[in-house]
Amino acid sequence: MIDLSLLPDGGLTWLDASGPASHLVLSTRIRLARNLAPHPYALRATLGDREGILTDVQAAARETVSLRKAHLFRVDRLPLEDRQLLHERHLVSKELAGLGDPAVVRPGAALLVQDRVGVMLNEEDHLRLQGFRSGFDLDAAYQQVDRVDSELGQRLPFAFHPEFGYLTSCPTNVGTGLRASVLIHLPGLVLTKEISKVLQGLAQVGLTFRGLYGEGSEVVGNFFQLSNQTTLGKSERELLDHLGKMVRQVIEYEEQARQVLLRDVPTIIEDKVWRAYGLLRHARTLSFEETMNLLSGVRLGVGLGLVDQVGLYALNKLLVHTQPAHLAQHEGVGATDPELNVRRARFVRALLEDEAGRRGATP
């Protein structure tokens, strides 16, 4: 079993709701795709190449500040549960975790982590550097990952073309190799049915959206990952400024939508919020998907000041710890445990009861 304290968000720092706009934005994540010039791209890399990449990167990492104390997870040697766990933490992609289709773990698949930065190794690109922050904080997330990039770049021969920029396995990542993702909660826009208009607008300005778990994952609980689509032809600064501007706009739309709901259908909103809370407080079996949807309702209530029985940090913790692999680890059972939904409901009840008691709120 993975020691959770080794994870960069082991203390869940990026979920403590301390960052900017935490009532709407759960976290900001930036990744940089990098490849080592001497080795072929992942699709054509031999086993020897893949091990060589691991050796080279580890050696370089030991000489940096950002990754000096990093822990290496050999994802290719981890049992399924642990790979799921890392994926649920957003530290490794579905593919690197061997949870894609086909569900194969690539040889040499690994993760290097320290504090709030991580490096996926032998993913689609040789290296995918990631930086995480609480709330909406593109600059801080970029500074973190930029430092790792500089430190490693001084010691490793990153594939770079003077005209195109960083070279990557997939052409869409060529250039800066940067993808910035903002995990944002947009129930207001969903309830007012304005969300598709907003998402279409984002697509027109080069942004894309996904569900909680990256490419191809469904949107549940009104949680959206907004990110830039391409990286070619723009500087890192330009990409971040553009995404930042657009996300601020989305935040404004969401705030407006909430005010409209509170003004026009306050009862429906209050009812929705409190029913969600009531079900989380009392249900005896909860699927993860239903939990997400109910947490979405309660989170809206907290954002609107309707609910004070629970804080954002607790809701964020629930979102992470009710995921199948996290819950299974907490309960000391396998991820296919038939009682997992019952355990989830018990876990949620206990946390919410404790939280309500701690906050001295009446139910």
* Distance in Å, CB of 313 to a second copy, minimum: 22
Q: Which is nearer to a second copy, 194 or 270 (CB)?
A: 270
Using rule CB under 8 A, residue 263 touches a second copy: no
Q: CA–CA separation, 187 vs 126, rounded Å?
A: 37
Contact with a second copy (CB under 8 A) among 63, 271, 289, 308: 271
Using rule CB under 8 A, residue 359 touches a second copy: no
Q: CA–CA separation, 265 vs 269, rounded Å?
A: 6
Q: Which is nearer to a second copy, 186 or 345 (CB)?
A: 345
Structure tokens at 328: 């299974």
Using rule CB under 8 A, residue 205 touches a second copy: no
Q: What is the dihedral of CA 353, 358, 362, 363, to 10 degrees?
A: -20
Using rule CB under 8 A, residue 315 touches a second copy: no
H helices present in the chain, as ranges: 47-62, 80-88, 138-153, 187-191, 195-204, 236-264, 266-282, 288-303, 312-321, 324-331, 340-359
Q: Which is nearer to a second copy, 41 or 274 (CB)?
A: 274
Query: Smallest Cα–Cα separation from 344: which of 277, 260, 287, 297?
Result: 287
Contact with a second copy (CB under 8 A) among 279, 292, 300, 340: 279
Contact with a second copy (CB under 8 A) among 197, 275, 358, 359: 275
Q: Which is nearer to a second copy, 191 or 202 (CB)?
A: 191
Using rule CB under 8 A, residue 289 touches a second copy: no
Contact with a second copy (CB under 8 A) among 200, 267, 305, 332: 267
9-17, 37-45, 153-161, 265-273 -> range binding a second copy (CB under 8 A): 265-273
**Which of positions 316-345 make contact with a second copy (CB under 8 A)?**
342, 345
Q: Which residue has the tokens 């935490």?
A: 22
Q: Which is nearer to a second copy, 116 or 344 (CB)?
A: 344
* Distance in Å, CB of 23 to a second copy, minimum: 21
Q: How many CB atoms lie within 10 A of CB 266?
A: 12
Q: How many CB atoms lie within 10 A of CB 343?
A: 18
* Distance in Å, CB of 307 to a second copy, minimum: 10
Size of the site for a second copy (CB under 8 A): 19
Q: CA–CA separation, 67 vs 60, rounded Å?
A: 9
* Distance in Å, CB of 281 to a second copy, minimum: 6
Peptide bond into 171 cis (omega under 30): no
- For residue 25, what is the enclosing H or E element? strand 25-34
* Distance in Å, CB of 258 to a second copy, minimum: 17
* Distance in Å, CB of 295 to a second copy, minimum: 15
Q: Is 100 left (phi over 0), alpha (psi -120 to 50) or beta?
A: beta
Please provide the DSSP assignment of 74-86 as one string: -GGGS-HHHHHHH
Using rule CB under 8 A, residue 360 touches a second copy: no
Please state, in angstroms and as integers, the Cα–Cα distance from residue 203 to each residue in 27, 144, 198, 215, following that order: 21, 27, 9, 15
For a second copy, the binding residues (CB under 8 A) are 267-268, 270-271, 274-275, 277-279, 281-285, 342, 345, 353, 362-363
